[in-house]
Amino acid sequence: MNIKIKSLSKNEDFKKLLNGRKISNSYLTIFFKKIPDKKNTCLNISFVAKKKMGKAVDRNKIKRRLKNMTYAITKIAKLNLNFSYLVLAKKSVLEEKYDEIKEALQKSFEKIS
């Protein structure tokens, strides 16, 4: 099932998500909340890598990898499209292997659903 991934764009949406529920593991923190005016036809998700994590090249690499992992997970697992998600990467994402991060991300999404 191909699900379109759409990024959050409004500052108020980010603030609403930060006040919502969260789930954490050693690589990521995922904030999620239902946003009332959002349509559930696409996956609203944004990826954040703080400046502490490194230069722009490293931060963009992290976000690219996380987006790729999420796209792969949407093909395998059922995600709740009623929620909007904010994925905040931790420093350990840089050193860890792709498959381990993907597995942790998938388990986190399964806990949410």
Q: Report which of 83, 58, 82, 72 is spatially closest to residue 106, judged by C-alpha positions.
A: 72
What digits encode the pLDDT tens for the residues 32-78? 988 777 777 788 889 999 999 889 999 999 999 999 999 888 888 88
Tell me: pLDDT of 101 over 70.
Answer: yes
Residue 1 — very low, low, confident or very high, per pLDDT cuts 50/70/90?
low
Residue 30 — very low, low, confident or very high, per pLDDT cuts 50/70/90?
very high
Q: The CATH number of the domain where 17 resides is what?
A: 3.30.230.10
- State pTM to two decimals: 0.86
Number of domains forming the structure of the chain: 1
Q: What is the mean pLDDT of residues 80-86?
A: 87
Token pair belonging to 46: 């944004």
Q: Which domain holds residue 82?
A: 5-112
- What's the CA gap between 75 and 71, in Å, rounded? 7
User: Are 88 and 29 within 8 A, CB to CB?
Assistant: yes
